[in-house]
Structure 1
């Protein structure tokens, strides 16, 4: 019987065969006694081995803990009594594993530390848990590498491969999207924007010639697709089909998305040049009499994309020669001036008509056009302003600010000219 009792595994809290008493005590006065065994403690923990090996050491070990890690202390004590191969299965959550890991490091329980690391390396984390994990493994040194491998910065090649794959999918460069591809394409576009905005190392990738060539290829493909689908509108006998407009809008939305990413890659010049080139043909189609009362979503989306182009050119983010700036303005100003009152009228006539130019869009376009006009040679400014004042729709866009500046500059120019002539005349007389 005695031999059987001796061979029986030790259990935490066994009051009969223990030789050590651990007292957990927190500030809230929640003490708990744990009957334990020195053989287990010294074998599994260097901290306890050191405490119990001291001369005149007591068999009572008092451990102070907080209300936040009290349960983790209890969990750690229970894990000390488990066989090594069962510890991993006893870790049931990130919170528990992190809490136990911090204590296992403090109490120098190497076996449990390894199990916690293995557990945390293998399971998914939530964002709010990641900071806690990083704090817990900060003192582990090389031991933490399996965990840190998940979040450590990747090298240039890996980053480039991911970005290229995302861009290719977002632009459908490899071909049409598979079933449910539109949703995946939208997700890819969102992730590309996020990468461009958040990754400090990505400028190295976006400066790569291969990446820039790929993006230019994507722009060309999307632009051609948009032109082809737009041209097919006039050949479609049933223009009321929603799918007809939706198909064109899909390509136009892709172009609008490119307006968001290309400035971050210093490639907006390519978009503006392309848009300026295709604009005359685009407007010929969209202003055809067959579409007079149709495709309002397409018409306003064209204005939204053009607004980004006008903004880029008007404020000097994209540099174009003066003749190109004049062409861009004279191409789109009449269209915007025509469509704005039509949208307002439809909105007043039809309840629930959603295709409107909101105030922010109107102000953005107006500001960009004024800035663009003021960047032109005086004679070109005069032509545009004269045309504006002759038009029926003089209220939008309101170019009065540009007109005032032009008048002031004209008078100043005349004054400078006269002053210059007078100086020349006086100098001649004095001779």
Structure 2
């Protein structure tokens, strides 16, 4: 019993509206005759027109010497009775622009050809082709039309059309169409979804013409992302005229970047460079390696302090970003190892010159210390016992010297508030150290008590905590004082 015939239109993409008027292909069983496509030709502007005097007319059964049968199958039903077929009338001389058809039409395949009678009782070659289920028939028909009109600019007008034509052109080895599609794709912007399709289609086809196109998607250098972020960070903290705006923009980029490890590497490198510049400048001020007149040495020292102050601003911005992104562990460790740097800072702050040359320098370096120490004290940045100890041991003297600077300006009041905040943080870190280490560091904090006893509860609480811990031995219940008496 013959299966019932169903008729449907082949779906036509809105991007191929020029084909929508003439592509038709009913679903029928394998015994049914395929439907002919209505004769249509394109104008030079890509629009449809009826009739033509051109002897090579696309899909004209009156003059065609080749019939191409495009077969499509319902991928959900593995049954050839659900096949639909589209019949297109073509010319061998047009098809031979594609290397695939040139081979199919060559003499070596003559014996296996199927023929039908064409105009003037001439033989007409039959070519059967199955269309993969992932591709639309419209793409095949469009590429066939391009063989006749070659109006690539008129028909390839968007990314979707170019991507639809490219696999067909590659399958048929139609070099001119491949080049036109790749050239179009390379020249126009893409949406994110289109970019995914471009990458999927172009990489799967492995076309030699796609090298420049892929260069737009895939970096040549494996460090490209690292280098780009490094350049942005450098621009943000150094040379860009719109400093605050650019810093905010770069900070957002760093925060949104998918790879925390890359961000960490970039910020670690920038931190190391800025810290080295500050350290070298402070050392050059403390021990100028020049011989000359006193005024020449003073001028060089002035430049050194200005350089140290400027780069301390960069350093503070980097520290804040690293803490914000929770990638400051290396910076904390490095900051705790600054024996020479802190010694040079003490020499600078004991000299009155910095007050007129670089008055913001103490606040900047202490703010860096406060940010890092606060992250350690809060537990958001885990540091070893040795790092915590050195952080207080080396930077506490810098805090003490800075506190002794008398001033009554508005900036000095802010600096005093910073001193108090840093005092609290150092005492909190000391509370995390072994009793022996805390015993060495706490007496150095006595100058925190320059305010009345009531005004420095943080210092009182720190000493009370140490005495409470040290006054009893949990192992045998004997106090340290009793141990001393018994040992006498």
Q: Structure 2 length as normaliser, TM-score?
A: 0.48
Pick one of 260, 282, 301 that aligns with 1:227: 282
Asked whether 1:369 is paired with 2:464, we answer: no
Aligned to 2:196: 134
Question: CA contact under 8 A between 1:101 and 1:136: conserved in structure 2?
Answer: no
Indicate the SS of the match to 2:51: coil
Aligned to 1:66: none
1:386-405 alpha-carbon deviations (Å, 9 max, x no partner): 3312x14989xx86346435
Indicate the SS of the match to 2:162: helix
Asked whether 1:379 is paired with 2:439, we answer: yes
Q: Structure 1 length as normaliser, TM-score?
A: 0.53
Q: How many residues align?
A: 340
1:137–1:421: structure 2 CA closer, same or farther, 3 Å change rule? Answer: closer
**Counterparts of 1:237 and 1:299 in 2: how far apart (Å)?**
20
- For residues 164-179 of structure 1, the aligned pairs below 5 Å read none
Aligned to 1:250: 310
1:245–1:383: structure 2 CA closer, same or farther, 3 Å change rule? Answer: closer
- For residues 273-284 of structure 1, the aligned pairs below 5 Å read 273-284=336-347
Pick one of 328, 331, 336 that aligns with 2:394: 328
**Counterparts of 1:44 and 1:140 in 2: how far apart (Å)?**
27
Shift of 1:383: 1.4
1:268–1:290: structure 2 CA closer, same or farther, 3 Å change rule? Answer: closer
1:79–1:372: structure 2 CA closer, same or farther, 3 Å change rule? Answer: farther
Shift of 1:346: 2.2
Indicate the SS of the match to 2:217: coil
**Counterparts of 1:80 and 1:346 in 2: how far apart (Å)?**
82
Shift of 1:138: 3.5
Asked whether 1:38 is paired with 2:59, we answer: yes
**Counterparts of 2:163 and 2:419 in 1: how far apart (Å)?**
57
1:236–1:399: structure 2 CA closer, same or farther, 3 Å change rule? Answer: farther
1:15–1:417: structure 2 CA closer, same or farther, 3 Å change rule? Answer: closer
Question: CA contact under 8 A between 1:219 and 1:255: conserved in structure 2?
Answer: yes
Aligned to 2:365: 302
**Counterparts of 1:266 and 1:201 in 2: how far apart (Å)?**
13
Aligned to 1:51: 86
The more displaced of 247-256 and 145-154 is 145-154
Asked whether 1:98 is paired with 2:159, we answer: yes
Whichever of the two has the greater Rg, that structure is: 2
Question: CA contact under 8 A between 2:342 and 2:395: conserved in structure 1?
Answer: no
Question: CA contact under 8 A between 1:230 and 1:285: conserved in structure 2?
Answer: yes
Shift of 1:43: 11
- For residues 63-74 of structure 1, the aligned pairs below 5 Å read none
Aligned to 2:126: none
Pick one of 159, 181, 186 that aligns with 1:121: 186
1:215–1:238: structure 2 CA closer, same or farther, 3 Å change rule? Answer: closer
Shift of 1:98: 1.8
Indicate the SS of the match to 1:159: coil
**Counterparts of 1:409 and 1:354 in 2: how far apart (Å)?**
32
**Counterparts of 1:275 and 1:193 in 2: how far apart (Å)?**
30
More helix by share: 1
**Counterparts of 1:216 and 1:163 in 2: how far apart (Å)?**
15
- Measured on the aligned residues, the alpha-carbon RMSD in Å equals 6.1
- For residues 205-244 of structure 1, the aligned pairs below 5 Å read 218=273, 221-228=276-283, 230-231=285-286
Indicate the SS of the match to 1:307: helix
Aligned to 1:23: none
Aligned to 1:268: 331
Aligned to 2:19: none
